Amino acid sequence: MQLPTPSELKGKRTDLGLTQNDLARRAGVSQPLIARIESGDVDPRLSTLKKIIDVFEDVEKEDIQVGNIMNTNVISAAPEDHIDVAVQIMEKHSISQIPVLSKGVPVGSISEEMIIRSLADKKKSAVSHMLIREMMGDSFPTVSPNADIKMVSHMLERNPAVLVLEIGQVVGVVTKYDIVKLLSE
C-alpha cells in the first residue's frame, strides 16, 4: 500500500473544495498541522492520515446527489397497456422490470418474475392480453433529485430501482447499475 504524498493530499483537498481549516475541523486536528503536512514539513501519524482520508471519502459521498446520476430517460409502461407491451419494452431495452406510470405518476411496477409466475397459472394467450394493472406490484420507492446517494444505496439493497420525483412527476430513475458505475468513474 502506498501512502499519499503531501502534494497528493493537498491536491485532493482542493479538488474536493475543502479549505485547510475545513479539513482540520472535520478530521479533528489543527489547521497548522494540515499546512505542515501539505508542505512536507512533518510526517503525520498513520492515525492522523487515516482521519484525513476518511474525511475525503465522506466528502466525496456527500457530493453525489441522485439528480447527478439518475437516468432521465425513464422506460415505463401504463396500467392500461397489455402485458405483451411490457414484455416488448423489457425485451427491447434488455431490462427485467419497469415502473408503471399513469400521467407521469408512479402507480406500480411490472417485472419478468411477475409475468413468469402468471404463466405458471394461466395460458400464454390469457397472460399476454391481461392489462398491466391486473398484475402489477408495488411501485418502486421515490426520492427527490437532491437525495443523498447513501440513502438511495440503502434503498437499492431491497428494491431493483428508485424513482426520482419532482413536483409529483417522475423525472428519473436510479438502478443498482448506476451506483456500480460510480466505481469506474
- Each domain of the chain, given as residue ranges in start order, spans 6-63, 67-184
Q: How far apart are the first and last CA of the chain?
A: 21
CATH 2.60.120.10 matches 6-63: no
Tens-level pLDDT at each residue, the chain (185 residues):
688 999 999 999 998 889 999 999 999 999 999 999 999 999 999 999 999 999 998 887 766 788 988 999 999 999 999 999 999 999 999 999 999 999 999 999 999 999 998 888 777 777 888 999 999 999 999 999 999 888 898 999 999 999 999 999 999 999 998 888 876 65
Cell representation of residue 20? 485547510
Cell representation of residue 144? 427527490
Strand partners, 162: 174
Taking the C-alpha atoms of residue 118 and residue 72, their distance in angstroms, rounded to an integer, is 31
Find, among 96, 101, 92, the residue nearest to 74 by Cα. Answer: 101
Q: Which CATH number fits the domain 67-184, given the four candidates 3.30.930.10, 3.10.580.10, 3.30.70.330, 3.50.50.60?
A: 3.10.580.10
**b/e sequence 83-98, b meaning 16+ C-beta within 10 Å:** bebbbebbeeeebebb
